[in-house]
Chains A and B, each alone.
Chain A
Amino acid sequence: MNIRTEQFKKQAALALKDKTMQEAISRASRRFSQNRTKAFGELPEAEALRTRAHEIKAEAIEHLDATLEEFTASAQKLGIIVHRSADGVDACRYIGDLAQSKGIEMVVKGKSMTTEEIDLNRHLEASGIQVWETDLGEFIIQLAGEGPSHIIAPALHKTQQQVAALFTEKLGVPYYEDPEKLTMVAREFLRDKYFQAGLGISGANFALARTGTIVILENEGNARFSTTFPRVHVAVVGIEKVIPGLRELGVFLKLLARSATGQKSSTYVSLIQGPRRPGELDGPEEMHIVLLDNGRSRIRQDVEMRPSLYCLRCGACLNVCPVYQRIGGHAYGWVYSGPIGSLVTPQFLGIQRAKYLPMASTLCRACAEVCPVRIPLPDLLLTLRRRIVEQHGLPWLERKMMEIWGACQTSPGSYQAAFGLARIGQEFTPGFLPAGVQLPEKNFHRIWKDGQD
C-alpha cells in the first residue's frame, strides 16, 4: 500500500472528525479487549506464560543466525525450498518469477501482514497475475482498494451497509445487508478460486527450528484452503518468527488467540511440514518458504529496540490504546497501526518518514499491560522520541517554551510571577486552553500560604 506516514497529523485530524469510524473501531476494540480480559482471567498461569514467551523470543532472536540455520536445514530435509530475501523487492521478485515460470495465472492468499508490508499483491498484479485475498476482511478491503485498519480485523471500519454496496458494485450480486448473506457471497465467490489457483500464498505465525514446521492460526479456514489445494504453496515468513520447537509453541498457542480475540484456541491451527509426501492424498506438490529480512536484522542489531521483534501481531495493544480508538488504523499511514505500528513503522521505514508516530501515544502503559510477550512498548516509544529529538532537535516553538518554562522554575519568586502573568494572560487569549480548563485564582502554593497565616 502507499506509504502515507508523513501525513500522520493531517490524517489523524481527519479521523477525529469521522464519528462512524470511531464508533466502529471503539466498539470492536472494546469487545476484543473485554474478551481478552475474560480469557486471561480463566488462565491462572497467564502471567508466567507471558514471561516465558518473552524469554523464548529473546533467546531465539539473540541467537537468530543459528536458529535460522537450524530451521532452514530442517525445512530442506522436508523437501521445502527455502529462499532468504534481504528485502521486499527480492521477495516479490522471487514469488513473481516462480509463478511465471510455472505459468500460474491466479493466486489465492491467506491473511498475512508480512505480504502487506512488502506490497506483494501490487507486484504480482503488475506481472499480470490475478491475486485474491481470501480472508473475509482482507477480501473486503481488497475490493475497496484500502489498507487494513486493524491487525486482526482489517475491515473493522466498514459497516454492513458499506460492505453490501461494495459487493453489489464489484461482484454484481443483489444488495444484501445481512452479514450472514454477505459472508456466503464471499464464500461462494472464493470457493471456485481455491480450486482454480495454481499458487497459494500464506504467512506464518511461527516457524519451528527443530522440525522445519510452519504454524498458521486462523478462524475462517481460508488459509487452510490456500495451503491445501493449489499445487504450489509459498509461505512468506519474517525471520523473527522462528522459535525452537513444539514445546515452545505450546506457550504461544495458549497466549495468542486469547490475546487477539479472547478465544481459547483459534478455530484452525495448521502445522504444515512440507509438500504432499508420497502416498498422501492431499496437499501441494511443491512448497517454498521465503524467509524475509526487510530490516529485521538491522532492528535486531539495535539492542535497545530489539524487543520490537518479539511481537506476535495479536492486536491486543491496539484494542486498549486510547489514541488508536480515536484515530483508527488508517491514520497511521502504513500496514501496522496502534502502539505496535508507532513502534515498528519508524524502524522499518526510517525515523525520517514516520517521526510523528512515536508521539501518538499517551504513555499510559495500557499496551504494555496486555502485550502477551511483554514488549515494553512505552519505554521503546520514549527511546524513539529521544532519538528523534537528538537527530532533529525540538521544534522551535516547543524549544522556546521549554526554555521559558525552565527559566520560570529557577526560583519561587519567578515561578509565582510567571503564574500570575499567565493567569491574567489567559483572559486575553480565549481558546488557548481547552474549554473548561482555567488557571485558578490561587494556586496551591498560595492556598497553602494563606492557610498558614
Chain B
Amino acid sequence: MNIDTSQLFAIFGVESLLGLLGLVLIVTDLLVGKGRLTGPATAVRTLAFGGLVAIFAWSFVLEPGAEGALGTLDSFALFFKRFFLATAVATLGVAAPYEDRLSAGRAEFPTLLVFTTLGMCLLSSANDFVTLFVGLELVTVVLFLMAAYRPQLPRSIEAGIKFVVIGALSAAFMVYGIAFVYGTTGSFEFSQISAVINAQESLPAGLKFGLLMVLVGLGFKLGAVPFHIWIPDVYQGAPTPTTAFLSVGSKAVGVVLLMRLVYTVMGPAAAQWTTVLAGLAALTLLMGGLGAIPQTELKRFLGYSGISHAGFLLVALATHSEASAGAILFYVVTYLFANMAAFLVIVIVSRTDDDNHMDRINGLANRSPFLALVLTTSMLSLAGVPPFAGFFAKFMVLRAAVAEPALVWLVAFSLLMAVTSLYYYLCILKRIYMRDAVDTGFLEISGGARLLLLLCMLAVFAFGIYQQPLVQAAEAGASSLFR
C-alpha cells in the first residue's frame, strides 16, 4: 500500500479541521474554564457550535474527486460528511438545554462530540478496511463515554456498561471477519477486494465467512435484528443528547459502511446476499414494529422506532439498485430532522428531574401548543404519513424495492409493518391531545431550542411537499457508488 501524502488533506480536509477544532476546544477549556469541572461551558459550547457550522459551510465548497490509498472523497462521502456535521450541530442544540442537568464535564461534552464526528466523517470516506476499523472504533469508544456520561445515575452507568460489552464484542467479530477477508483476497483495499470477488463465479468459503462477520459487526451499529439488543437499554439509559446523536449518527454509520460494502465492494456479487439482507430486514421490521407497542418510556419507545427504521433501510439495501441507494440517502436525512425534533421535545418535557416517562407528554397540546405541533409533525413523519418527508422516504424505498420481483413479499410485509407502527405513533398523539396533563410544571423553551425545533419542523414539511432538491442531492450522492 502506497500512501500519497500530498493527497491526504484533499481527502481528509474535513477530518483535519475537526481534529484541530477538538484540540482547540480542549485548550480553550483549560484557559477559560475556572472551576471548570462544575462550571458552565458557554465558551467551549459556542466555539464548538461556531466551528462545526463553519466546517459544515466549508464542506459545500469542496469538490468531490480526490482519491487515495486510505480514503476517497467522492460525492457519496461528501454527502455523508455534510450529514454528520449537520447531526453534530443539531446535537449541540439538543444538548444546550440539557447542560444544567450535568453535574460535571459540561465542557467535555462538545469536545467528545467533535471527536466522534471526526470518526464518522472518516468512515464516510473509507475505501480501505484499515480506515474503516480505526474510524469505527473512534466513533464507538467515544460514544461509550457519552452514554455513561452521568455516572451518578445508575441507568447511565448501566447503559454504558451494556454498550461497552456489546460494542467491543461487535468490534471483535468485525476484526475476525476482516482477517478472513484479508486472508482470502490478499488486500485491505475495497477496490482490490471487489476485483477478487467479481473475478470468480462463487466465493470461497473463507471470504463468505469473513464478509458475514463484517456484516454482523455492522448490524450491531445499524441496530438490525438479531443484533439490536443493546438499542432500547442504551437509548433509555444514556443522557438524552447522547441518545439523539446515537440514534441518528450510529445508524448512519452502519448505513454508510453497509452501502460501501454492498454496492461497491461486493458489486454485482451482492445479488447472492439479497436473501440474507431481506431476511434481516423482515426480522428487524417485525421486532421494531411489535417491540414499540408496550413501551411507556419515551426514549425506549424511540429506540424501537429506530429499529423499525433500520428495517426499512435494510429493505433498500437488499434491493441493490441505484434508485434504492438514493432512497437510503433521502431516508436518513428525513430521519435526522424528525428524530432531532423529537429528542429536543423530550429534553424539554422531561424538565430538570429528567423523567422520560410517557406521562410527561400527556396534555401537551394545552401546555405548549408549539411543542405539541412539533412532536406531532415529527411522529407523523416517522410513521410515514403523507404529506410529511417520512412518507416520501418510505415511498422511495418501496418503489425501488417493488421493481425487483424477488422482493415483492418484503414490500408487502414492510407495508403491513408500516401500518402496525402507525398504531403506536398515534398512541403518542392521543397522549398529546386527548389526555389530561400529569405534569403541570413550566416548560422552558430557550430561543435556540425554539429555532432548532422550527427548523426541523419546516424541513419535515418542506421535504414532504417539495422533495426535488433533496432527491437530486441524494441521487447525486449515491451515483458515485456505482461508477
Are the chains A and B members of one assembly? no
Binding site for B on A (CB under 8 A): none
Binding site for A on B (CB under 8 A): none
